[in-house]
Amino acid sequence: MTDTFQLDGATVPFEEGQTVLQAALAAGQYIPHLCYHPEFKPHGSCKLCTIKVNGRTAASCTMPAGAGLNVESDTEELNVLRSTLVQMLFAEGNHFCPSCEKSGNCMLQALGYDLEVHTAGFRHMYPDRPVDASHPDILLDFNRCILCELCVRASSEVDGKNVFALSGRGITKHLIVNAESGLLKDTDIALTDKAMQVCPVGVILKKGVGFSVPIGERRYDKSPISAQALQDAPRGPEASGNCDACEDAP
Amino acid sequence: MTEKKKLRIATTSLAGCFGCHMSFLDIDERLFPLLELVEFDRSPLTDIKHCGPCDIGLVEGGICNAENVHVLREFRKNCKILIAIGACAINGGLPAQRNHLDLRSCLTEVYLTEPGLAHGHIPNDPELPLPLDKVHPLHEVVKIDYFIPGCPPSGDAIWKFLTDLIAGKTPELGFGLIEYD
Amino acid sequence: MPTEVGLSTACLDPILGRHGHDASNLLQILRELQDCIGYLPADAITYLADKLAIPRVRIESVASFYSFLNLQPRGEYRVLFSDNITDRMLGSAELMQQMCQQLWAEPGKVSEDGLVSINTTSCTGMCDQGPALLVNGRAITRLTHQRVQEIGQLIRNHTQLDEWPADFFRVEDNIRRSDLMLDNRLAPGEVLRAALALGADKIVEAIKQSALRGRGGAGFPTGLKWESCRNAKGSEHYVVCNADEGEPGTFKDRVLLTRQADLVFDGMTLCALAVGAKQGFLYLRGEYQYLLEPLETVLQRRRDANLLGTNILGQPSFDFDIKIHLGAGAYICGEESALIESLEGKRGVPRNRPPFPVTHGYMQQPTAVDNVETFCQSVLALHMGAEKYRAIGTEKSAGSKLISVSGDCPLPGIYEYPFGVSVREMLQNCGAVNTRAVQVSGPSGVCVAESEFDRKLGFEDLPTAGAFMVFDDSRDMFEVARNFVHFFAHESCGFCTPCRVGTSMLKQTMDKVAAGHGTQYDLREIENLDRVLQTGSHCGLGHTACNPVLHTLKHFRPAYESRLKSLDFEPAFDLDGALARARQMTGRDDAGAHLKPEGA
């Protein structure tokens, strides 16, 4: 017999070791999420997937599923929280969608669409984050980094390379690369690395292939992220990163 | 039965490219039913120079100079509902890309040191509005009531937003109409 | 520079040797490297990465997390002024300005001659004898204009710190009221000897019966924690003493570690006996580096007396020792799981819980983490017996509590009270008059106004980690809250979105109000940010970061409103000021070259 918990009134079965988010997605119940990726251990930093369990808030990606839990997710209060978090991420970085080649394939943007976010609202921080174009094949545009650590996790857990890490703390936290020069060209990153595929926004980009998919045919032009996250739960690697662009590359 | 009073709308473009206005015209033949419901005050469509009391103001573009501030304040003072339309109005957009540069070096490069400039000087005619240190989205300078995202928002998005508003509904764009690019 | 590589290597090799080339000691290694060179040069990090066989990016990531570690060259003398509100009330801002002028330095930057860098740091725990500062990690108290003048001279003359007047570094205990803990005359190991006869199960039972609760603020039942840790399966069990006393306004652990170090270590050893640990750690906040040497001496004395080491007090296979781990300027490491991360040589980011440290703590093994004071109380509770111990304090708060009193009162210092004492009684004892408010338990605690002075300290009413900052009626409570908001923004670890961005936005909004640009709109934004921080944050720092604002808004709303513009909305910046650069560049000053405030 499988154990179950309640999510917004629906009964969700789960297996030992699954978190609330994992079990929910597998059962066809969508909970918005951003820094979670099915291939990596969840760490719960973006807080988009916040739920209420027996009245207390928790990140559903790290919250172990438990028999009989009463989970609320699709509520006014939590959706307002999620919208505000998306707004905070937009205000924190420099997200100028019209000039970003990840536009249309970007999870942050797609979540904004789904949550009907019309503006960042807050005062924009306009941080100075120079791009790293030192590598012949790869561009790093830190302006768009949302500090989800997926590239950090992919590089260390899958590629065994540790190309990326986060530096600093608080609002000055930022992505760095594994080189004394601080430049990507002096790391051992390769185009075939998992770390190249997991960026949910437009930070890690293959050079020379931008804007290869016409507007209207990009991933999140076709259907909302809420629908797609369920279609491919657990989400496969092709669903993330700028691989839409990669696939179309000659 | 008296005819329902038409809503008065003003529009303007500040530090923008008029792309949002062009997109507004993309509502095409729906302009006619719209004109049954609204009349235009200050707008590039009417050439009225100053904004009078209005129900709705639509402002495209961000705030990059002193004149932008004056116009925006005029809109805020006269419009019951003020809407920021397009990326530049909402987050500074393309003009805000200069926010990472010092204004001094911008002006120096453009007017003094750029190759090909002889005896260049920084324009100081009082007719010209002075640039602000940084480009700001509208909501950082006055209170903004609604935002229509997009670069530009599609004609359909603008139509949906305005018709919702005119019908007294909280505007919602929904999938396919809400876009940031 | 090749000479630097040589210098780094010369420094690093012995440090690495001392730490067994063990990457879990990374933070200690980096601290010592910096003590040697003054900062952490890029080539030294590369060398270190090679020797420890870990990626250099990980070292950089760790080093950049701690505010006392510098990846860029700093001055030969690194001066950090304690920036708690109590330091400010004693004039620290003016003193820092004075020193900057005297030494031709700009705050946050290295002086051109490389001699000095001057900046602020979070509360250094010297609130009863402030204003205070740290120079190259060493605490200086009781700053005055004259003392700052003298310090400036010593720095200018390149006088070695060892040759500075000893009085500068004198730290007073200022014990104003003592009770069972500070009055105890137990010999080192006395209670431990009795405990050995009891055995682990009975110790846990006795602590449970005593109703002892953790003194770090949250008040978790200590006996239950020890029992869970004891019962948890693991290859090793660990005991950790949390002496990362970072909550601004708190300095009681400093006094306990100065006056009652044996009691602390007795408690840790008792806990080790109860949970079956062989290794203990004392996580000492970096600001208390000056305590390291005396504490090491006490530890050595205890080893010599067979109170630590193998077969303690002759008990076969009761082996336990304690290692002191020094922090490096990160408030968040006071959170137990962040502290454990830091102990393991990582960034001090709080872990996801569950699992809790009692089952998966240090190196994923069962770990009992307790506050310095909790360990002391555990010894007393065991010694006195549950019944007598529970007779002290209140029904749900047994025993006594150390309170660090600072701010507007003639008698700041340490007060030991049985739980249940009222705010009013404490104010009377410290001689405070015309008190407007008391911040109980630091910025993350509660701001108590006059109407609530009959509230009592204890888990039933006013739980506290020990800070008690007094503000009289000359104080501006808005500025108090703003200081605390800056503190949280500075100390946010940046892991989760709500806290990383929210604390920073809260700081911006408070600064906007302070600059006279605030409106009702901003007060609503504060409430909005508070909801996000409370519901979304990863740990207690984010949950409580809005408290100072919410509490002062509740009790002292006019302090905010008097600063607000009557308008519904105002920009956060000075519009006319934003034209200044363009005016300068064009030489214009006509009416059109200015922007008046709206309505003017």
Q: What is the pLDDT of residues C424-452, one digit of tens each?
A: 999 999 999 999 999 999 999 999 999 99
CA distance C223 to C204: 6
Assigned domain for B109 exists: no
Which chains form contacts with chain B, at 3 or more CB pairs under 8 Å? Answer: A, C
Q: Is C290 helix (H, G, I), strand (E, B) or coil?
A: helix
Does C580 contact chain A (CB < 8 Å)? Answer: no
Binning pLDDT at 50, 70 and 90, where does residue A236 land? very low
Q: What is residue C127's predicted lDDT score, i.e. its pLDDT?
A: 97
Is C83 in the same domain as C196?
Answer: no
Task: Output the furthest CA–CA distance in chain B (Å, rounded).
Answer: 70
Query: In what side-by-side order are the strands of the sheet with C138-140?
Result: C116-121, C77-82, C133-135, C138-140
Nearest to C500 among A164, A167, A171 (CB): A171
CB contact under 8 A, C585 and B103: yes
Assigned domain for B124 exists: no
Binning pLDDT at 50, 70 and 90, where does residue B113 land? confident
CB contact under 8 A, B181 and A120: no
Q: What is residue C3's predicted lDDT score, i.e. its pLDDT?
A: 45
**Residues A199-219 pLDDT 10s:** 999 999 999 998 889 999 999
pTM for the model? 0.94
Binning pLDDT at 50, 70 and 90, where does residue B5 land? confident
Read out DSSP for C525-589?
HHHHHHHHHHHH-SSHHHHHTTHHHHHHHHH-HHHHHTTS-SSS---SS-TTGGGHHHHHHHT--
For chain C, what is the mean pLDDT?
A: 95
Q: Residue A148: which residues within 8 A CB-CB, separation 6 or more? A: A34, A35, A45, A46, A200
Q: Is C321 within 8 Å of C310 (Cβ atoms)?
A: no
Binning pLDDT at 50, 70 and 90, where does residue C194 land? very high
Q: C interface mutation test: which of B71, B104, B132, B145 has the most C CBs within 10 A? A: B132
Please tell me the distance in Å from B84's CA to the nearest CA on chain A.
Answer: 9
Tell me which residue range forms the domain holding B58. 7-99+130-166
Is C447 in the same domain as C308?
Answer: no
Assigned domain for B120 exists: no
Q: Secondary structure of chain B: what % helix, strand, coil (to 5)?
A: 40, 20, 40
| Range B6-34 average pLDDT | 95
Which residue of A lies nearest to C536 if distances are taken between CA atoms? A47
**Chain A residues with CB-CB distance to B under 8 A?**
90, 95-100, 103-104, 109, 112-114, 116, 118-121, 123-124, 126, 128, 215, 223-224
Q: C interface mutation test: which of A35, A47, A172, A189 has the most C CBs within 10 A? A: A47
| Range C144-157 average pLDDT | 97
Q: What is residue A238's predicted lDDT score, i.e. its pLDDT?
A: 36
Count up the domains in chain B and report the number: 1
Which chains form contacts with chain C, at 3 or more CB pairs under 8 Å? Answer: A, B
Chain C environment of B126 (Cβ under 8 Å): 588, 590, 592-593
Least confident of C1-15, C44-58, C459-473: C1-15
Does B124 contact chain C (CB < 8 Å)? Answer: yes
Assigned domain for C568 exists: no
Is C155 in the same domain as C211?
Answer: no
CB contact under 8 A, A176 and C502: no
Nearest to C331 by CA among C500, C28, C123: C123
Nearest to B103 among C581, C587, C598 (CB): C581
Q: What is residue A244's predicted lDDT score, i.e. its pLDDT?
A: 37
> What is the identity of the amino acid at C191?
V
Binning pLDDT at 50, 70 and 90, where does residue C600 land? low
Assigned domain for C70 exists: no
CB contact under 8 A, A77 and C535: yes
| Range B129-144 average pLDDT | 96
> What is the identity of the amino acid at B91?
N
Assigned domain for C566 exists: no
Chain A environment of C60 (Cβ under 8 Å): 165, 167, 176
Please tell me the distance in Å from C59's CA to the nearest CA on chain B.
Answer: 30
Binning pLDDT at 50, 70 and 90, where does residue B2 land? low
Orientation of helix C190-198 relative to helix C261-275, angle to 10°: 10
Does C455 contact chain A (CB < 8 Å)? Answer: no
Least confident of A62-71, B107-116, C241-250, C367-376: B107-116
Tell me which residue range forms the domain holding C336. 177-390
Assigned domain for C377 exists: yes
Does B153 contact chain A (CB < 8 Å)? Answer: no
Please tell me the distance in Å from B140's CA to the nearest CA on chain A.
Answer: 6
Is C485 in the same domain as C340?
Answer: no
C150, C172, C194: which is the final residue of a domain? C172
Is C434 in the same domain as C490?
Answer: no
> By CB neighbour count within 10 A (0-12 exposed, 13-18 middle, 19+ buried), where does A203 fall?
buried
Q: Residue C562: which residues within 8 A CB-CB, separation 6 or more? A: none
Which residue of B lies nearest to A99 if distances are taken between CA atoms? B181
Q: Is A59 within 8 Å of A36 (Cβ atoms)?
A: no
Is C256 in the same domain as C381?
Answer: yes
Chain C environment of B80 (Cβ under 8 Å): none
Assigned domain for C71 exists: no
Q: Secondary structure of chain A: what % helix, strand, coil (to 5)?
A: 30, 15, 55
Q: Residue A198: which residues within 8 A CB-CB, separation 6 or more? A: A37, A150, A151, A153, A154, A237, A240, A241
Q: What is residue A2's predicted lDDT score, i.e. its pLDDT?
A: 76
Binning pLDDT at 50, 70 and 90, where does residue A233 land? low
C473, C491, C515: which is the final residue of a domain? C473
Assigned domain for C504 exists: yes
Assigned domain for C72 exists: no
For chain B, what is the mean pLDDT?
A: 94
Nearest to B178 among A98, A113, A223 (CB): A113
Is C290 in the same domain as C187?
Answer: yes
Assigned domain for C168 exists: yes
Assigned domain for B74 exists: yes
Chain B environment of C594 (Cβ under 8 Å): 66
Assigned domain for B110 exists: no
Nearest to C588 among B69, B126, B140 (CB): B126
**Residues C16-60 pLDDT 10s:** 999 999 999 999 999 999 999 899 999 999 999 999 999 999 999
CA A158 to chain centre: 17
CB contact under 8 A, A170 and C531: no
Task: Report the helix count and the strand count for chain A, using DSSP H and E.
Answer: 7, 9
Assigned domain for B2 exists: no
pLDDT greater than 90 at residue C383: yes
CB contact under 8 A, C598 and B73: yes
CA distance C149 to C168: 12
Is C207 in the same domain as C153?
Answer: no
pLDDT greater than 70 at residue C223: yes
pLDDT greater than 70 at residue A243: no
Is C333 in the same domain as C208?
Answer: yes
Q: What is residue C207's predicted lDDT score, i.e. its pLDDT?
A: 98
> What is the identity of the amino acid at C134?
L
**Residues C490-510 pLDDT 10s:** 999 999 999 999 999 999 999
Q: What is residue A241's predicted lDDT score, i.e. its pLDDT?
A: 37
CA distance C326 to C345: 11
Count up the domains in chain C and report the number: 6
CB contact under 8 A, A47 and C537: yes
Does B107 contact chain C (CB < 8 Å)? Answer: yes
Binning pLDDT at 50, 70 and 90, where does residue C599 land? low
Assigned domain for B77 exists: yes
Assigned domain for B11 exists: yes
Instruction: Identify the residue whose tokens are 């066989």.
Output: C53
Nearest to C489 among A59, A91, A171 (CB): A171
pLDDT greater than 80 at residue A237: no
Is C199 in the same domain as C295?
Answer: yes
**Chain C residues with CB-CB distance to B under 8 A?**
521, 568-569, 571-573, 575, 578-583, 585-588, 590, 592-595, 598
Q: Residue C51: which residues within 8 A CB-CB, separation 6 or more? A: C12, C16, C21
Q: A interface mutation test: which of C346, C501, C532 has the most A CBs within 10 A? A: C501
CB contact under 8 A, A100 and B181: yes
Nearest to C481 by CA among C425, C428, C530: C530
Does B143 contact chain C (CB < 8 Å)? Answer: yes
Nearest to B91 among A113, A120, A223 (CB): A120
Neighbouring CB atoms inside 10 A of C383's CB total 18
Binning pLDDT at 50, 70 and 90, where does residue A248 land? very low
Is C313 in the same domain as C380?
Answer: yes
Which residue of C lies nearest to B138 if distances are taken between CA atoms? C571
Binning pLDDT at 50, 70 and 90, where does residue C10 land? confident
Q: What is residue B115's predicted lDDT score, i.e. its pLDDT?
A: 82
Nearest to B124 among C569, C581, C586 (CB): C586
Task: Output the furthest CA–CA distance in chain C (Å, rounded).
Answer: 90
CA distance C203 to A127: 55
Is C207 in the same domain as C341?
Answer: yes
Q: What is residue C390's predicted lDDT score, i.e. its pLDDT?
A: 97
pLDDT greater than 60 at residue B20: yes
Q: What is residue A245's predicted lDDT score, i.e. its pLDDT?
A: 35
Q: What is the CATH number of the domain that holds B155?
A: 3.40.50.700
C125, C152, C172: which is the final residue of a domain? C172
Q: Is C426 within 8 Å of C405 (Cβ atoms)?
A: yes
> What is the identity of the amino acid at B30?
R
Chain B environment of A123 (Cβ under 8 Å): 140
Q: Is C448 within 8 Å of C469 (Cβ atoms)?
A: no
Neighbouring CB atoms inside 10 A of C535's CB total 20
